[in-house]
Amino acid sequence: MSVSNDRPGRGSGTTAYPSLLPWQVRERRFPPARFGGRGLDPDAVYAYLGRVAGDMASLHAEINRHRQETLRIKVALRRWQSEQARQANGERR
């Protein structure tokens, strides 16, 4: 797998790179450490973790926006239902 996991045309709009998909996180491979070091290249790992954290932050912000919108719709629906019930009760009298 290459160092870049970019997918053209699929960005979150808030970052310079496309959003990550779960399979991309699972299959990501890092180069070995430079200069005969053991393990993975820390710069590559931290850069990737930063990217994953950015995507997660964007997703959580989007989830919160959807929750707020859902709450707004529920409140509006309950208000409308109450108004309809009051009107129906008023017409029966």
Report pLDDT for 2.
41
Question: Average pLDDT in the 37-46 region?
Answer: 85
**Cα gap 29→1, rounded to integer Å:** 7
> CB–CB of 10/18 below 8 Å?
yes
- pLDDT(7) > 60: no
Report pLDDT for 14.
54
pLDDT averaged over every residue in the chain: 81
Torsion on CA atoms 43, 26, 15, 47, rounded to nearest 10: -10
Question: Average pLDDT in the 50-58 region?
Answer: 90
Pair of tokens at residue 27: 């299959």
Question: Average pLDDT in the 52-77 region?
Answer: 94
Report pLDDT for 20.
77
Please give the DSSP secondary-structure letter assigned to residue 5.
Answer: -
- pLDDT(69) > 90: yes
